[in-house]
Amino acid sequence: MDTIKIRGGRPLHGSVKVGGSKNDALAIIPAALLVPGITKLRNVPRISDVERLLNILRYLGADTRFLPDGALEIDASAIHRFDTPQDQVQQMRASFNLLGVLLARFGKASVAMPGGCNIGARPVNFHVKGLEQLGAHLMLEHGVYEGTAPRLNGTEVYLEFPSAGATQHLMCAAACAEGVTTIENCAQEPEVVNLAGFLNACGAKISGMGTPNISIEGVSSLHPAEYSILPDRLQASTFAIAAAITGGNVTICNIQAEHCRPVLSKLAETGVEVIARADEIHVRRNGRLMPTDIKTLPHPGFPTDVQQPFAALLTLADGTSVVTETVYESRFRYTTELQRMGADVRVEGRSAIITGVPMLTGAPVSCTDLRAGAALVCAGLAAQGVTILSELEHLDRGYENLVENLQNLGADIRRSNSPNTTGKLQSA
């Protein structure tokens, strides 16, 4: 079993370059199957979720390879299967978007109900309802959606919650539909905007992205394009919190600072010095952390994916903070792991009440999901003594070179692993 060992108590110093966004890559890679040709993507993170998705693409008949310059090429000219490998699909949420993509390009698809981090029910009803409104026929049999759609037709979709995944899925499905599709109350996440940018670079006609209403004028086909995955705002936020919790002084580079604004504004409320420029953030802390309350919301609200690391920070604040999770029903399982480290956290329904303690102490803890892992790394960096993290497969899904990056910032952190399971993947 791989573990990460952290000897905490060292303030982080220096600069760190943020890699490509997991959630942006996982939205754009399936969309590349809409294009009968070679898509070239830059800044794709080498993480296990990306590798898993590329395995699925290859199963369908796509050719995928990382070039020596780091770019990923996806050749979707020779797709010849429309069913997906159930065991792989069930391990990740983003694979579900293949349903709409395959239906849009080939008129048939068979995709299992998706998996992903265990943070709540995570149904797919908005995706299914939207695809049916576009004219797809879907049947759920033995956990697999079987779909046919001789032609998708533009329609008006209203999402009862601004789901990032459903917005992205329906945008892909509608890109080549007959006529105009509008999605009302859609998600405004940067990854939604960038997916629309990618599709438009391929010839789609999408407008309104970044607002609550998106309009998609269907085109007859898409053409190949070269495009860049966004810098990972969640990774950047994790480094900012790691700097703050250790009383460090860190510059986080290669980012779009505006995407981190909801987190940075809360970080400043805790008494941390935050200076944001267009493509970098500087974070420094000298004094004691102040408590603050956070409530997760769809973008541009406070991101649920940073709720867990931010809560780790608040365990050391001088007073009581309330963290309210409104996006997922069960994203507090990690708090029992923080309690092992001496944190004073009480979960009441959708809120965690955190009373700051003077210090955390290292302990053996397990990563209950991806961002829980990030929270425990942050806590371990600040704790006195040794923290040992297990269940690293969750962390490997979304953080590229995390241990190396933190070592470069002066952390005493190392990973014990068996060969070929370092989280850094081979070229595919």
- In the three-class reduction of DSSP (H, G, I as helix; E, B as strand; rest coil), residue 179 is classed as coil
Q: What is the Cα–Cα distance from 98 to 138, expressed in whole angstroms?
A: 14
- In the three-class reduction of DSSP (H, G, I as helix; E, B as strand; rest coil), residue 93 is classed as coil
Contact range with ligand EPU by CB under 6 A, out of 19-27, 75-83, 132-140, 200-208: 19-27
Binding status of residue 126 toward ligand EPU by CB under 6 A: yes
Binding status of residue 122 toward ligand EPU by CB under 6 A: yes
Please say whether the beta carbons of 399 and 235 come within 8 A.
yes
Binding status of residue 20 toward ligand EPU by CB under 6 A: no
**One of 186, 370, 392, 402 touching ligand EPU (CB under 6 A):** 370
Kindly tell me which of 53 and 276 has the beta carbon lying closer to ligand EPU: 53
Binding mask 313-352 for ligand EPU (x = CB under 6 A): --------------xx------------------------
SS3 annotation, 114-169: CCCCCCCCCCCHHHHHHHHHCCCEEEEECCEEEEECCCCECCEEECCCCCHHHHHH
Kindly tell me which of 240 and 327 has the beta carbon lying closer to ligand EPU: 327
Binding status of residue 95 toward ligand EPU by CB under 6 A: no
Kindly tell me which of 9 and 165 has the beta carbon lying closer to ligand EPU: 165
Least spacing, CB of residue 27 vs ligand EPU, in Å: 6
Contacts of 349 (CB under 8 A, 6+ apart): none
Binding status of residue 57 toward ligand EPU by CB under 6 A: no
Which 230-249 positions form the footprint of ligand EPU (CB under 6 A)?
A: none
β strands within 291-343, DSSP E: 294-295, 320-324
Binding status of residue 305 toward ligand EPU by CB under 6 A: yes
**One of 266, 371, 394, 415 touching ligand EPU (CB under 6 A):** 371
Please say whether the beta carbons of 281 and 252 come within 8 A.
yes
Widest CA span of the chain, in angstroms?
A: 63
Contacts of 22 (CB under 8 A, 6+ apart): 45, 47, 49, 50, 232, 234, 397, 398
Binding status of residue 52 toward ligand EPU by CB under 6 A: no
Q: Which residue is nearest to ligand EPU (CB)?
A: 165
Binding status of residue 123 toward ligand EPU by CB under 6 A: yes
Q: Is 117 a catalytic residue?
A: yes
Binding status of residue 111 toward ligand EPU by CB under 6 A: no
Kindly tell me which of 75 and 305 has the beta carbon lying closer to ligand EPU: 305
Q: What is the Cα–Cα distance from 157 to 131, expressed in whole angstroms?
A: 9
- Which structure tokens are listed for 299? 């973008």
**One of 10, 127, 233, 282 touching ligand EPU (CB under 6 A):** 127
**One of 6, 12, 25, 26 touching ligand EPU (CB under 6 A):** 26
Binding mask 159-188 for ligand EPU (x = CB under 6 A): --x-xxxx--------------------x-
Least spacing, CB of residue 402 vs ligand EPU, in Å: 14
The DSSP call for residue 415 is E
- Residues that contact ligand EPU, how many (by CB under 6 A): 28
Please say whether the beta carbons of 264 and 280 come within 8 A.
no
Contacts of 5 (CB under 8 A, 6+ apart): 386, 387, 388, 389, 413, 414, 415, 416
Bridge partners, residue 315, by sequence = none
Binding status of residue 124 toward ligand EPU by CB under 6 A: yes
Binding status of residue 140 toward ligand EPU by CB under 6 A: no
Closest-CA residue to 218 (of 129, 149, 299): 149
β strands within 268-369, DSSP E: 273-276, 280-284, 294-295, 320-324, 344-348, 351-355, 364-366
Q: What is the Cα–Cα distance from 360 to 3, expressed in whole angstroms?
A: 20
Instruction: Kindly name the residue from 117, 176, 186, 367 that is annotated as catalytic.
Output: 117
Q: What are the residues binding ligand EPU (CB under 6 A)? A: 22-23, 26, 93-94, 117, 120-127, 161, 163-166, 187, 189, 304-305, 327-328, 370-371, 398
- Kindly list the catalytic residues: 117
